Amino acid sequence: MADIETFPNRHPGRDYTIVHTCPEFTAVCPKTGQPDFGTIRISYVPDQECVELKSLKVYLQGYRDRGIYYEHVTNVILDDLVAAVRPKRMTVEGDFHVRGGISTVVRAEYEGGGRGARASARGPRAARRR
């Protein structure tokens, strides 16, 4: 997977929300091998760092050929972003298109302490700071 890069938040003393939307997210169903399509929404209150968008795009594109369930991919994206950015709060929502007559929305949330908080049980596997 591609590294998630960050840049310094120029307003760390103010709580504000950043929302990134990827309406063309694709992965592969591990059971059928068929492509899954959806929208990934990332909403977070930054602490010291913000997500650099080109690296986010490349990171999300890394799932195109990966077999992974909706529930797992949403949580993995959250874990990786929290490890990279260490936000005050973050939500990742996967809104997946209809498959087999059922649409699915998965929402994973993180409430953290920001600077110095433990980001993830998995650690900063995909994180890289500039």
Catalytic residues: 29, 36
| CA quadruple 8, 10, 14, 16: dihedral sign | negative
Specify which residues 32 forms β-bridges with: none
Specify which residues 104 forms β-bridges with: 96
Per the structure block, which two tokens stand in for 11? 């307003």
Q: CA–CA separation, 75 vs 77, rounded Å? A: 5
**Max CA pair span of the chain:** 47
